[in-house]
Amino acid sequence: METDKINQAQQDQACTQQQKGELTRRRNWEKRMEQKRLAAIKAEEEEREQQRADEGFMGEAIRQAHKAAALGDVPIGCVIVRQGQIIARGYNRRNADKSVLSHAEIISIKRACKKLGDWRLEDCTMYVTLEPCPMCSGAIVQARIPRVVIGCMNAKAGCAGSVLDLLHEPGFNHQVDTRAGVLGEECSGMMKEFFRKIREGR
């Protein structure tokens, strides 16, 4: 009888320990789920904030592009941003300068390098209204720009994935993080409008 009681007590204890273990496991699981949920909310907020910032700087690149159009050049604009500040602006001046080197990105890279006193633009983001050409993609890789935000793609000359993918070429020692389609419709609309006016012999 006495032994039975002891057995029962031991069983009870084992049972409570098992329940305790399950409870702890469940609490830990709930804690992990809550942490995951909060992390997902934070990531979403950061993504929205990034999106807003990207659109703001792309808006400035678009303003630059309009300057090109005013000179009769294809409307392509660019800004380079460092620590939330625009450090260089540029727009396409190929016709105005009679030079193929006068692309918006090259002009902006030159200005940013001059401002920073360095050929490396390692902590900068470039915003450009049109997918960069081979020359500008080469300069972006050379300058080690880590991130490029693109307005609209350029099926005929783009080198961020359209014709070639120089910005993500694994064989190079530098790959670029890109985001395309930021204010994309506005950027492509601006180009279409420019060429429509030319066709109509404005």
- Does 133 sit near Zn ion (CB under 5 A)? yes
Restricting to residues 71-110, which ones interact with Zn ion according to CB under 5 A?
103
Which residues lie closer than 8 Å to 161 by C-beta, 6 or more apart? Answer: 131, 153, 167, 168, 178, 180
CB of 37 to Zn ion, least distance (A): 44
Determine whether the annotation assigns residue 78 to a binding site. Answer: no
C-alpha to C-alpha distance for 183 and 22, rounded to whole angstroms: 52
Catalytic, 105? Answer yes
Determine whether the annotation assigns residue 113 to a binding site. Answer: no
Find, among 177, 168, 171, the residue nearest to 148 by Cα. 177
CB closer to Zn ion, 53 vs 157: 157
Burial 82-111 (b: 16+ CB within 10 A, else e): beeebbbbbbbbbeeeeeeebbbbbbbbeb
Question: Given the rule CB under 5 A, which of 117-125, 128-136, 142-150, 186-194 is the region that contacts Zn ion?
Answer: 128-136
CA 90 vs CA 24, 75, 85, 187, 191: distances in Å: 60, 11, 15, 15, 17
Question: Given the rule CB under 5 A, which of 42-50, 78-86, 130-138, 175-183 is the region that contacts Zn ion?
Answer: 130-138
- Does 140 sit near Zn ion (CB under 5 A)? no
Active-site hit among 105, 131, 193, 200: 105
The three-point CA angle 60-62-63 to 5° equals 65
CA 146 vs CA 1, 6, 82, 109, 179: distances in Å: 78, 70, 11, 13, 12
CB of 42 to Zn ion, least distance (A): 37
CB of 195 to Zn ion, least distance (A): 17
CB closer to Zn ion, 89 vs 103: 103
- Does 136 sit near Zn ion (CB under 5 A)? yes
Which parts are annotated binding residues for Zn(2+)?
Answer: 103, 133, 136
Q: Enumerate binding residues for Zn ion (CB under 5 A).
A: 103, 133, 135-136
Q: Which residue numbers are catalytic? A: 105
Which parts are annotated binding residues?
Answer: 103, 133, 136
